[in-house]
Amino acid sequence: MIRKAFIAAALLAIAGGAYAATDYPSGYTKCAKEGETCNFSGTRKVAYGKAGTFVYADITGPFVCAASRFPSINVATPRYCSYGAVVTPPTCTATTIGAVINGASTASATVASGASVAFAPTPTSGGSWSWSGCGTSGTSRTQTVFPTASCTATATHTNSCGAVSTRAHTITVTTTPSCPATTITAVINGTQTTSATVNSGAQVAFAPLPSSGGTWSWSGCGTSGTSRTQTVFPTASCTATATHTNSCGTQSTRSHTITVNGTTPPSTPSGTPIGFGRSTTGGAGGTTVTVSTGTQLNQALCGRASVSTPIIIRVNGTINHGNTTKVSGSCDTTATEVELKGISNVTIVGVGTSGVLDQIGLHIRNSSNIIIRNLWIKNVKKSGSPTSNGGDAIGMETTVNNIWIDHNTLEASGGESDGYDSLLDMKAGVTNVTVSYNHYRNSSRAGLIGSSDSDSANTNITFHHNWYENIEQRTPLLRHGLVHSYNNYFSNLSNSDMIHGINSRMGGRILVEGNYFKNSNNPLIASDDSDEPGCWQTRSNYLDSISYDRSVGNGALVVPIISGGQFDSTCSVTVPYSYTLDSAAGLPSGLPGQVGIGKIQ
């Protein structure tokens, strides 16, 4: 019996040792074994562990003693919880707001009616803000208002621990402005007036006064941005409002009323060339011959008394490789293209819509006074089968002068990878050319002027009233020469379909005016494919959904700045002839019906 009592006492001592004094820190009250509830009220510091090893947490009781409530600990189980002193939460003090008005540390200011008032209280970081009064709103720390009556703006700041503070900003508005608004003088198309009547799509230039000081903003009639001068092409009556803010913040406005009469279509095509090719007469006064095959056309050229005898050749049929053979005589012809070589005084003109060159190009070399009108030249290849003319629909090279290319449809069915090159190329000495009322379409390349950076003999080229439809690049690519491009319509299905448009390089100079650019990527540029850029003068163009994915140093030597809806000019360019500039805005609706084959009598 004594032995059994001794064993029981020993076991009781062991059990008691499992919750010994070392299982909770000094000054802490034991409250629970792991898995049991520790009962106390309020928030206290709680220890968790055993045998002198503990971790701590601030816990609000009662709670279940569990490892998940504490940082990790490396000690054997079971573990125990004990609580210590009550935890007193920290005191959160509201942030002091420093009032700042118009840059000065002050809680009050006196201003003129309508003057700018800028609130920018401190602190500048941390917490959140809200506002009321004086026209303030939102959650921005800084607020700018233009009060016309005395008022108080209240800033409310909530800091990171939720304490809220406020600061009042008192604004006294004087009845007599100390800074009067600037008087705006309206100027429309160079005349001091607040209203003007124009044709639909005509250019309207706003240039209000004063010309210096303060800042500008615009609304209405297609105006935008902060430039004092704005150029627009309204197609409906509208009002443009200019807002001027002077140096002390007082604003003034001026309305400009534009009344639009209606749409003015492009001018009627002329029967004689306009521009640099204006002296071209072709075969005027000569014999008229009608042909329907390439062989007959070559026979007409070769049957003249001399290489300069005037002749008018009417094409009434489809010319192709199958009906074209080389002919001898006062000519130098081939079987693979329509060759005008070493001749002059020739007009080739299609009859109605029947004048077609299918997969066979037209080549002009060492020739002068040539007119090419009313033909459909299509699908001329430089690779694949059949090939013709180096893949150019029309190619001109080597001492070619006085040429008129008019009312032709020039077409390919793809780019270089499909076997095609250009629709109209000029190189090695092509001068005094007018290219008018042609329909370029569905080609990678419209054409170049100068085949390399050293090809500098090509100049005096006019492009007007042409439609470039779905053309990727070279409209044109220009090296060295002088070019005039006006009233042309450039359109693509999307900007991504275009590489670049007019590309002026190696000192080339081009006057770009009255053109309409639709869905055009890099429409005017000096690319870095040459060592030197060209330049341009621009005016009265219409920019509709254009884009630039090239920049200076990234594919370009020069990219035009666009201001007031217009390209900037990088040089001055003039031309020595008279012409009528149509409204660019009317080109998309009026020009397509006038270009290409079948549009002349």
> pLDDT tens digits, residue range 156-194?
999 888 888 899 999 998 865 457 888 999 999 888 888
Task: Report how many helices (DSSP H) and strands (DSSP E) the chain contains, helices first.
Answer: 3, 49
| Residue 75, token pair as written in the block | 């000690």
What is the rounded CA–CA span in Å between residue 371 and residue 236?
40
CA 332 to chain centroid, in Å, comes to: 49
Q: Is 515:537 a contact under the CB 8 Å cutoff?
A: no
Look at residue 5 in the predicted model and tell me its pLDDT: 38
- 238: phi then psi, degrees, rounded to nearest 5: -160, 170
Look at residue 17 in the predicted model and tell me its pLDDT: 38
What is the rounded CA–CA span in Å between residue 158 and residue 206?
48
DSSP 175-208: SS-SSPPPPPBPEETTEE-SEEEEEET--EEE--
What is the rounded CA–CA span in Å between residue 486 and residue 477?
16
Distance in Å from the first CA to the final CA of the chain: 140
Look at residue 485 in the predicted model and tell me its pLDDT: 98
Ranges under pLDDT 70 in the chain: 1-20, 89-90, 175-178, 200-201, 262-270, 601
Q: Is 396:344 a contact under the CB 8 Å cutoff?
A: no
Question: Considering only CA atoms, which of 264, 333, 267, 346 is closest in space to residue 295?
Answer: 333
Q: Is 420:414 a contact under the CB 8 Å cutoff?
A: yes
* Residues, the chain: 601
Look at residue 181 in the predicted model and tell me its pLDDT: 86
| Residue 72, token pair as written in the block | 């990790």
What is the rounded CA–CA span in Å between residue 489 and residue 122?
57
Question: Considering only CA atoms, which of 249, 247, 248, 243 is closest in space to residue 146?
Answer: 249
What is the rounded CA–CA span in Å between residue 380 and residue 106?
79
Query: pTM of this prediction?
Result: 0.60
Look at residue 236 in the predicted model and tell me its pLDDT: 80
Q: Is 321:360 a contact under the CB 8 Å cutoff?
A: yes
Residue 319 has a CB neighbour count (10 Å cut-off) of 26
Handedness of CA 124, 128, 133, 138 (dihedral sign): positive
Look at residue 192 in the predicted model and tell me its pLDDT: 87
Question: Considering only CA atoms, which of 420, 428, 464 is closest in space to residue 446?
Answer: 420
For residue 274, give the amino acid letter: I
Going through 136-283 in order, the beta strands assigned E by DSSP cover 143-145, 151-158, 164-174, 187-188, 191-192, 195-200, 204-206, 215-219, 230-232, 238-245, 251-263
CATH number of 187-263: 2.60.40
Pick the CATH number of 287-590 from 3.40.630.30, 1.10.260.40, 3.30.390.30, 2.160.20.10: 2.160.20.10
CATH number of 108-174: 2.60.40
C-alpha torsion angle, residues 28, 31, 33, 34 (rounded to 10) = -80
- Is position 373 annotated as part of the catalytic site? no
| From 474, 479, 505, 550, the catalytic residue | 474
Residue ranges matching CATH 2.60.40 in the chain: 108-174, 187-263
| Residue 441, token pair as written in the block | 């379409």
DSSP 81-93: EEEEEEPPPPP-P
